[in-house]
Amino acid sequence: MKLKAPIIIEVIFLLIGFLIYFISGNDFYIYNFVYIGTALAIGIGLLSNGYRYGRNVVMIGIGCYILIFLGIINHENMLMSGFWYYLFLGVFEAAVIHFLVAKIIGPFLFGRGWCGYACWTAMILDLLPYKVPQSPRKNFGYVRYVLFIAILFFVSGLFILNVSNLESIIYYTFIVGNVIYYVLGISLAFILKDNRAFCKYICPITVFLKPTSYFSLLRVTVEEDKCISCDKCLKNCPMDVDMLNNSRKRENGTECILCMECVRNCPSNALDL
């Protein structure tokens, strides 16, 4: 994995950047995707060489770039509300491209790698004290679907009612939405003693991510002849994925964020990407 996965990630994002440049004529996308692809490749490379916090560094680098530079400074709503907004406008840029690459088509290649390496909400949640879940899996994941529909209806309603100052409303929706996500995410982490509780039960992005992540090219698998059944991979997985099962139907298999905690904690090197 030490070279294979980082090279694949770098090449994929380089190709994406040039493809969108040729479609749009905007060379910004070359720099954008080269930066993100390089950051992701470095993060995976650091992890494969034993740097435990390499992923956190990359998450902060990419997360702050999207949140602060693209979002706050350049007034691009990069949340789901922004995706629907630009999509309804017929504008192929900003959040539409972001969602297509990271959350709709991209997961066919790298699963939920976005959640593990680039999410600006999770970059804060992963710094909280409950990296290993300390409570059983809950059954209110349906909340994500309710929120998904609510956001769609909200943005649709703005267009149907022909609300004025729509661009400003969408920008402030981005600001308020992020505040709500951080408050909910941090609160749930402490209530359920699970840093990734928000990702498991609330985040509406997973409605897009789960179906395509099932077919992910990059995925952690186990060499059964090396496995000593210590279950350390299961105990240290923040997303409760059954890493001892190579089937795509494994429990919570579509929620693997490629954090590599299972690989790092495996004493027999039975797991790899």
Q: How many whole angstroms separate alpha carbon 41 and alpha carbon 23?
A: 25
Per-residue pLDDT at 6: 78
Q: Of 246, 241, 244, whose CA–CA distance to 258 is shortest?
A: 241
Q: Which residues contact 22 (CB under 8 A, 6 or more apart)?
A: none
pLDDT confidence of residue 3: 65
Q: What is the pLDDT along the chain (273 residues), one digit of tens a residue?
A: 556 777 877 888 888 888 888 887 888 888 888 888 888 888 777 776 767 778 888 899 899 999 999 999 999 999 999 999 999 998 877 788 889 888 998 889 888 888 988 899 999 999 999 988 888 888 888 999 999 999 999 999 999 999 888 999 999 999 999 999 999 999 999 999 999 999 999 999 999 998 899 999 888 888 888 888 898 888 889 999 988 888 888 888 899 998 888 888 888 888 887
Q: Among 101, 60, 100, 93, which Cα is nearest to 75's? A: 93
Give pTM, 2 decimals: 0.88
How crowded is residue 194: how many other Cβ atoms within 10 Å of its Cβ?
27
Within 10 A of 271 (CB to CB), how many other CB atoms are there? 22
92: which 2 tokens? 């192929």
Q: What is the CATH topology of the domain spanning 219-273?
A: Alpha-Beta Plaits (3.30.70)
Predicted confidence at residue 201, as pLDDT, reads 93
Answer whether 57's CB lies under 8 Å from 39's CB.
no
CA 129 to chain centre: 20
For the chain, the straight-line distance linking the first and the last C-alpha, in angstroms and rounded, comes to: 6
**Separation in Å, CA 249 to CA 37, 201, 214:** 29, 20, 8
Classify the C-alpha dihedral 96-99-102-105 as positive or negative.
negative
Q: State residue 140's pLDDT score.
A: 87
- Residue 2 has a pLDDT of 58
Candidates 87, 147, 98; CA nearest to 120 is: 98
Helix (H) / strand (E) element for 222: namely: strand 221-222
Helix (H, G, I), strand (E, B) or coil at 242: coil
Cα of 43 vs its chain's centroid, Å: 14
**Joined tokens for residue 219:** 């995925």
Backbone angles phi, psi at 271, to 5 degrees: -110, 145
Which residue's entry shows tokens 């192929």? 92
* 103 touches 96 (CB < 8 A): no
Domain ranges (residues) in the chain: 78-213, 219-273
